[in-house]
Amino acid sequence: MPLMFCVSFSCQASDYYFKPVFSANERYYSNLFLFQDPPQDNWISTLSPGVNFGLRHENGELKANFTWNQLFYTNQSELNIAEQLFSVDYQHKTERLQWSLGGSYNNRASINTIGTVVGTVFTNIMAKQLSVAPSVSYDLDERSALSFDYSYNKTTYEKNQNPFLTNYDYHQASGTFNHLYTERDKLNVTLSSSLYKAQLYDQRTFNHVAQLGWQHSFSEQLVTYLSAGINYSNTKSTVPQLIPGSFFGIPVFIDPVTGLLLFEQRYKDIESNGFGQVYRASIQKSFEKGSVSLVGSQNQTPTSQGLQTQTQLAINSAYTINERWSSGLSASYSIYESSGQQNNQFNINRTYYDISPNINWKWTPEINIGFSYTYRQQDFKSSTQASYDNNMQLQITYQPQTNLQVK
C-alpha cells in the first residue's frame, strides 16, 4: 500500500479531493443469529464517521477510504464493538495496457465479516482481515484482450472459541481471454487456481476451475450471459481421532471405538479429491427509469467445514421514481452443501432465502435517507424446525459538498 502512494505522487498530479462522510443507521433484528428459538430481538445503532480521499492525474487515479464504525446493541451491550476499515485502490491506464492494485485492512466484527447465513456464528468477536489484489489487462487488438488477476486474503480471529471460525489464508490467481466475436457477441475463457489454508486441522485445499462464457446483447437494453465449466479440488487435512475427556481431574483422550483412555492425542491424515460443475446464467433488462436482472449460478468454494457448493437463484431490480426518490427489490434462494470430514461431524447443509425491498430519498444534495426491510429464513437438513428473521434498517448519510483541489 505505501508503494501505491509513492507511485501515484511521483506522477504529475492534476487534482486531488478530500471528502468527509458521516452516516448513522438504526437496525432491528427479530432473530440476529438465526437461532431456531431466538432468546431476544436486537436493536443496533451504528455511527460511522469516515473520509474519502484521492488523487487524479492524466493516466491514473488513486482512491482511499477510512471508516470507523461504532456499534451499540441496545439490549445486549456485551456485543458492543468498534470497527476500523481502510481501503486503497490505484488504477493506471495507457492506450493498450491497464493495471491496478487494490488493498484493504479491516478490523471487523465476525457477524459482519461472514454474516449469519452460515448458521454457525453465535458470538461477536473481532476479525482482522488483510487483502491485496493486483490485476493487469492488455488489449491484443480491437477485438481481443488478455487479463490476469491475483488476490490474497488473510483473516485472523481474536479470542476465538468458536469451532466454526478458524484463521485462514486464501490465494487465488486467474487468467481470462476475451474476444469480441460479433458486435453483439462476446466470448471468454477463464482458468483459475486457488489455495485455501486453514489453521483448523491444518487444512489445505487446492481448487482449479476452467470456464467458458458467452455474452449476447439483443439490444442496448437487453443482455444475456451464460458460462459453464468444471472444478477440480484436492483437500488434505489432519484430524484428531480421540475425544478429549477427564479422568479424576486428569486430562485424557477417549478412543471412541474401544473406549480406552489415552494420555496423548492421535491424528489421522485425510485426503479427498473431487470434480464439480460451475455455471452462471443471467439476463438483464434496462428501462428508462430502472433495471431488472435474474441470475442463476453454482460455484464451489473451500471452507473450514469442507468444500462448499452453493447453488443460487437471485433477482434484483431498481427503479428511479423521480430526481429525489428511488426504490429497489432483491431476493435470493440458495442451497448450501458441504463435503468433507468436518461436514460429516457438524452437518451444516442447508437452504436459505431472503427478500428485501428498499426505498431511498435524497433529502438534500448532502443528505440521503434510506429504509429497507429484509425477511430471512434458513433450514438445516438435520433439523425439522426453520429459523427466520425480520430485519428493518433506517440509514442516514451526510456528505458535505467539499472538493479540495489543486491543479
Residues of the chain with pLDDT under 50: 1-11, 13, 115-119, 341, 343-344, 406-407
At 162, list the grid cell: 468458536
- Count the residues in the chain: 407
At 111, list the grid cell: 457477524
97-398 carries CATH number 2.60.40: no
Question: Nearest to residue 76, comparing CAs of 108, 106, 109, 50?
Answer: 109
CA distance 195 to 234: 10
CA distance 10 to 5: 8
pLDDT in tens, 344-372: 455 678 899 999 999 999 999 999 999 99
Q: pLDDT at position 148, please? A: 97
**Spans of all domains in the chain:** 97-398
Q: pLDDT at position 152, please? A: 96
With cell 435470493, the residue in question is: 332
Strands in 250-254's sheet, in edge-to-edge order, are 243-247, 250-254, 261-262
pLDDT in tens, 204-242: 999 999 999 999 999 999 999 999 999 999 988 887 777
CA distance 361 to 368: 6
Q: Which residues pair with 239 in a beta bridge?
A: 268
N-term to C-term CA, the chain: 25
Q: Is the dihedral of CA 123, 347, 332, 211 positive or negative?
A: positive
Sequence-distant (6+) residues with CB within 8 A of 317 are: 290, 291, 292, 293, 328, 329, 330
Q: pLDDT at position 5, please? A: 46
Q: pLDDT at position 403, please? A: 55
State pTM to two decimals: 0.83
